Amino acid sequence: MEVIKMEDLGCNCAKCLVAEKICRLEKGKGPSSCPTKKEGPTLAEALERYDDPEIKEFARAASVQEGSCYTCRDVKPFVMIPTKSRMEELIEFSQRMGYKRLGMAFCGGLTHEASILSEILEKHGFEVIAVSCKVGGIPKERIGVKDEEKIQIGEFESMCNPIAQAKILNQAGTDFNIMLGLCLGHDSLFLKFVDGLTTVFAVKDRVTGHNPMAALYTSRSYYQRLMKMEFGSPEEMKGQSVSKREE
C-alpha cells in the first residue's frame, strides 16, 4: 500500500502525525502543509478580528469556560479531570456573558427534551424563546418533496422550517441561541439565516440516541460497514433493510 506523505496533501490537520505539534507547543513542529506554518496572512487576518471588543470578550469568556471544566489544574503533573456536563457549561457560559434571553431552535421530534431544557434554563433565570422546526405547518410539497419521499407515504407532513426558526429568533432579539436536534441540512439553513451567535446542544442522530460519535467509536466493529461498503450498493442497502418476520 502506497503511503502518501502529509506534505503531498492539502491542509488536513486530522491526518497530522507530528507528536509535538507546532499549534500546541511553543517549539513544536509541523509538516509543510501545516496551516500554522503556511497560512500566515490568513492567520493574521483572523487574529485581527479578535481585536473587536465584542468578539474578544466572547472568545475570552469561551476560553475561561473551557478551563473551568477541569479540576486540579494546579497539580503537577497535570491530569485532565473533567467536571462539567454540556448542560452545566451552557448555564455557566450564558451567565458569564450576562445573557438574559436565550433562543432555542429545536426538532419537533425532541419536544420533550426541549421542554426539559427550557425548564432548566428558566429555573436559572433565563427567558427562553423556543421555536419548533415545524413552525408554520407548511406541507412538504411546497419545497418539491414528492409523496414517496415523505416519512409516512400518503400522509400530510409539515416541512421543517429552519429559516422561519431563525427569523423568529432574530425578531425576538435573543442574546444567544441554542440548536437542539435539528436535522442535517436544516441545521445548516438555520445557521445561515440566524443573526446571533449560536451553540449546538445536540445534533440529530436517529439511530444512536443523538450521539453521532458512537458511529466513530464503533467504526472498527458494529459500524465497520462505514469503512468497507459503498453507500447505496446492494450490500449496504441490504444491511439497512428490516426483514419481515415469518408468520
Question: Tell me: the pLDDT tens digits for 211-239?
Answer: 999 999 999 999 998 988 887 778 777 76
Kindly state whether residues 39 and 113 are assigned to the same domain. Answer: no
Beta bridge partners of 114: none
Chosen domain end from 204, 224, 242: 204
**Domain that includes residue 59, residue range:** 27-83
pLDDT digits (tens, 9 = 90+) for 164-186: 999 999 999 999 999 999 999 99
Kindly state whether residues 89 and 75 are assigned to the same domain. Answer: no
Does any domain span residue 5?
Answer: no
Beta bridge partners of 178: 104, 199
Kindly state whether residues 79 and 149 are assigned to the same domain. Answer: no
- Tell me if residue 163 falls in helix, strand or coil: helix
Q: What is the DSSP letter of 29?
A: B
Report in angstroms the alpha-carbon separations of 83 from 46, 74, 88, 150.
Answer: 31, 15, 10, 43
Q: What is the DSSP letter of 156?
A: -
Kindly state whether residues 77 and 92 are assigned to the same domain. Answer: no
For residue 58, the model assigns a pLDDT of 97
Does any domain span residue 185?
Answer: yes
Does any domain span residue 17?
Answer: no
Kindly state whether residues 96 and 50 are assigned to the same domain. Answer: no
Pairing type for strands 176-180 and 101-106 reads parallel
Kindly state whether residues 75 and 101 are assigned to the same domain. Answer: no
Kindly state whether residues 168 and 70 are assigned to the same domain. Answer: no
At residue 105 the predicted structure's pLDDT band, cuts being 50, 70 and 90, is very high
Provide the mean pLDDT of the chain. 92
181: nearest Cα among 205, 155, 162, 216: 205
pLDDT digits (tens, 9 = 90+) for 1-36: 455 565 555 789 999 999 999 999 999 999 988 999
Kindly state whether residues 158 and 197 are assigned to the same domain. Answer: yes
Kindly state whether residues 144 and 170 are assigned to the same domain. Answer: yes
Does any domain span residue 122?
Answer: yes
Kindly state whether residues 196 and 152 are assigned to the same domain. Answer: yes
Does any domain span residue 222?
Answer: no
Does any domain span residue 14?
Answer: no
Q: How many structural domains does the chain have?
A: 2
For residue 4, the model assigns a pLDDT of 54
Pairing type for strands 198-202 and 127-132 reads unpaired
For residue 246, the model assigns a pLDDT of 41
Please list, in sequence order, all residues whose beta carbon lies within 8 angstroms of the beta carbon of residue 131, skipping any fewer than 6 positions away: 103, 104, 105, 106, 164, 165, 168, 169
Average pLDDT over residues 95-104: 98
Does any domain span residue 162?
Answer: yes
Kindly state whether residues 76 and 115 are assigned to the same domain. Answer: no
Chosen domain end from 40, 59, 83: 83
For residue 64, the model assigns a pLDDT of 97
Does any domain span residue 209?
Answer: no
Pairing type for strands 127-132 and 176-180 reads unpaired
CA distance 130 to 174: 10
pLDDT digits (tens, 9 = 90+) for 53-99: 999 999 999 999 999 999 999 999 999 999 999 999 999 999 999 99
Q: Are 188 and 166 in contact (CB under 8 A)?
A: no
Beta bridge partners of 106: 132, 180
CA distance 171 to 169: 5
For residue 247, the model assigns a pLDDT of 39
Q: CATH code at 185?
A: 3.40.50.1860
The helix or strand, by DSSP H or E, that contains position 42, with its residue range, turns out to be helix 40-49
Chosen domain end from 83, 113, 131: 83
Sort 68 into a burial class: Cβ within 10 Å, 0-12 / 13-18 / 19+: middle
Kindly state whether residues 182 and 113 are assigned to the same domain. Answer: yes
Q: What is the pTM of this model?
A: 0.87
For residue 209, the model assigns a pLDDT of 94
Beta-carbon neighbour count of residue 217 at 10 Å?
12
